[in-house]
Structure 1
Amino acid sequence: MPYAEVGPGVRLFYTDDGQADDDQPPLLLVHGWGADSHQWSWHIDALAARHRVIAVDLRGHGYSSVPDTGNTPRMMAADLDVLLDRLGIPRVIAVGHSMGGQVVSILAVEHPERVRALVTLDPGYGMSASLARGFPQMIASLRGEDPHAAAERIDEWCTNAGTPDVIRRWHKRRLYGMAPHVLAEAFEAMFTGPEAIGVRPASDEYLARRRCPVLSIWADQGRAAWEAGLIDNSGSVVVCWEGASHRLHEERPRDFVQTLEGWVRRL
């Protein structure tokens, strides 16, 4: 499997499947916090039947390098810009889940020429101030005596009674394989750091700078309605899959692929 050097001491693992489509840019699949590109195993075969599909392990995650510092969504987005240069890919349809939704949104804002369109899946932005009050304690626990247990407690929010056990187990195993400093640094950078865009109103101000069409799929009706009011780009669509958990695309892989394919065809 291929690797790409994207900066001093940073090498990204990625897979490259399917065939290029003259009518649409490749799909770039970006996983969430504490996961890796295996998260897309439920979807790659179906997507690669019609698209070139790049699935990447972000820095600090999976098989990619684990830097001592810089494990933030902004640095991850910068890495992706370099990766696309290495692959000779000028533009992509960028797909991101959770933290990956932040990463691809940053890529679209900071490197707008790179992103033809965005797909965000229960993205890690738009958190209310009341919810954010608990984040400092979560970050402290990620830097405490048992960071993996703390990460597992945080991850409980990501599932519900309908989440299959195999998905719960898959994510637990990956969390326990993560470097603790990456878990803490990335979580902090998403929500409480000086450049964090995960909490309103910082989310509103930053995401309003996106100029490409956006398909956003949420599990929470309130946050879906919030983003629908924020987006005015032609072709953008916001939907909510009520009853789904934060792992919505893993729980409903066929629905996700069909929704993405239908929207891409209409672009």
Structure 2
Amino acid sequence: MAYADLGEVRLFYTDDAPDAAPGAPSPDPVLLVHGYGADSADWSFHIPALAERRRVIAPDLRGHGRSSAPATGYRTADFTADLVALLDRLGVERVVAIGHSLGTLVVSALAVEHPDRVRALVCVDPGYGQPEEVAAYFPAMYDGLAADPYATALANDAWCYTPASPRWLREWHRRKILGTAPQALAEAFPAMYRGEGAFGVRPAAERYLAGRACPVLSCWSAAQAGSAAWEGGLFKHPASRAEVWPGGGHRLHAERPEEFLFVVGAWLGDIDKEMSA
């Protein structure tokens, strides 16, 4: 079934799994969490390869894509609670969670608040860890999102690309933004960085992310290279690492899907070996 009714929200999701022999051991499922103003189709490049070996669950967050859009409830904690409810509905105890942008805050909150549910994290050009000097520009965006969410979100999207970013990717995400509920655009971005429970800006990010005990692989775009070194000081698990992708834009996983799959697959392979040792 492609939809899960979870009380106040109805989530669209896909659930793919390899054909496995009965009783054969299988690695932890993968949970794919897209970013702000996007949807689970962001992972179209990755699901077929990941599903050759693992069960892969890819939801649309509330207010995004094909999921329903309540009038309110677009904090990181709200998105995380929805995903916990979805995993419960599907009978999934533990996942490898892969998130992009806003999705990195959601999967990090899942790892901190529900550590038994997360085996490992992959965070793609995280939305967390913004320096205070960068966050100083955000209030103007908050006001713009409140007044005209679509125009403001589209204008903000311009920074996500490099000259090498394909034109189709820009248009694909322009259409995704236009397909996102206005209240989700207006509320989700500010909720990452201000208000109760927000941990997008340092030093709140440092305090909160230090609670991630599981292995973390973070892949940072060239524009946020300084943040990789910052995050490296927060890791608790020895298998964790933060790396910069030279030339990568904000959606580096979509720009370079085969490379992304190779890097993530090799890292998860090492994690799986450690778990079985």
* TM-score bucket (shorter structure): over 0.9
Q: The residue matched to 1:96 in structure 2 has which SS?
A: strand
Q: Tell me if 1:96 matches 2:99.
A: yes
Letter in 1 for 2:128: Y
Equivalent-residue separation in structure 2 for 1:16 and 1:138 (angstroms): 35
Equivalent-residue separation in structure 1 for 2:144 and 2:122 (angstroms): 31
Equivalent-residue separation in structure 1 for 2:26 and 2:52 (angstroms): 14
**TM-score normalised per structure 1:** 0.96
Q: 1:238 deviation in Å?
A: 1.3
Q: The residue matched to 2:5 in structure 1 has which SS?
A: strand
Equivalent-residue separation in structure 2 for 1:239 and 1:102 (angstroms): 18
Q: 1:191 deviation in Å?
A: 1.1
How many equivalent pairs are there?
Answer: 265
Letter in 1 for 2:191: A
Equivalent-residue separation in structure 2 for 1:70 and 1:250 (angstroms): 28
Structure 1 spans left out of the alignment, 5+ residues: none
Equivalent-residue separation in structure 1 for 2:216 and 2:67 (angstroms): 28
Q: Deviations over 1:10-35 (max 9, x none)?
A: 11110011227724200000000000
Q: 1:9 deviation in Å?
A: 2.2
Q: 2:226 aligns with which of 219, 222, 227?
A: 222
Q: 1:192 deviation in Å?
A: 1.8
Q: Deviations over 1:184-216 (max 9, x none)?
A: 110111012232111000100000001111011
Q: Deviations over 1:130-174 (max 9, x none)?
A: 100111110100111x32111111111111111101110000001
Q: Tell me if 1:48 matches 2:51.
A: yes
Q: 1:49 deviation in Å?
A: 1.1
**TM-score normalised per structure 2:** 0.93
Equivalent-residue separation in structure 1 for 2:138 and 2:119 (angstroms): 33
Query: Percent of counterpart pairs with the same letter?
Result: 54
Equivalent-residue separation in structure 1 for 2:179 and 2:90 (angstroms): 28
Contact kept, 8 Å, 1:136 with 1:192, in 2: the verdict is: no
Q: The residue matched to 1:143 in structure 2 has which SS?
A: helix
Matches within 5 A, 1:111-150: 111-144=114-147, 146-150=148-152
Q: 2:155 aligns with which of 150, 153, 160?
A: 153
Q: Tell me if 1:17 matches 2:16.
A: yes
Letter in 1 for 2:123: T
**Aligned twin of 1:176:** 178
Contact kept, 8 Å, 1:135 with 1:192, in 2: the verdict is: no
**Aligned twin of 1:187:** 189
Equivalent-residue separation in structure 2 for 1:209 and 1:177 (angstroms): 34
Q: Tell me if 1:206 matches 2:208.
A: yes
Equivalent-residue separation in structure 1 for 2:149 and 2:211 (angstroms): 35
Q: 1:234 deviation in Å?
A: 2.1
Contact kept, 8 Å, 2:214 with 2:236, in 1: the verdict is: no
Letter in 2 for 1:129: E
Contact kept, 8 Å, 2:63 with 2:183, in 1: the verdict is: no
Q: 1:99 deviation in Å?
A: 0.2
Q: 1:232 deviation in Å?
A: 2.8
Q: Deviations over 1:95-142 (max 9, x none)?
A: 000000000000011111100111100011010001001111101001
Equivalent-residue separation in structure 1 for 2:181 and 2:56 (angstroms): 27
**Aligned twin of 2:252:** 248
Contact kept, 8 Å, 1:12 with 1:58, in 2: the verdict is: yes
Of stretches 230-239 and 16-25 in structure 1, the one that deviates more from structure 2 is: 16-25
Structure 2 spans left out of the alignment, 5+ residues: 272-277
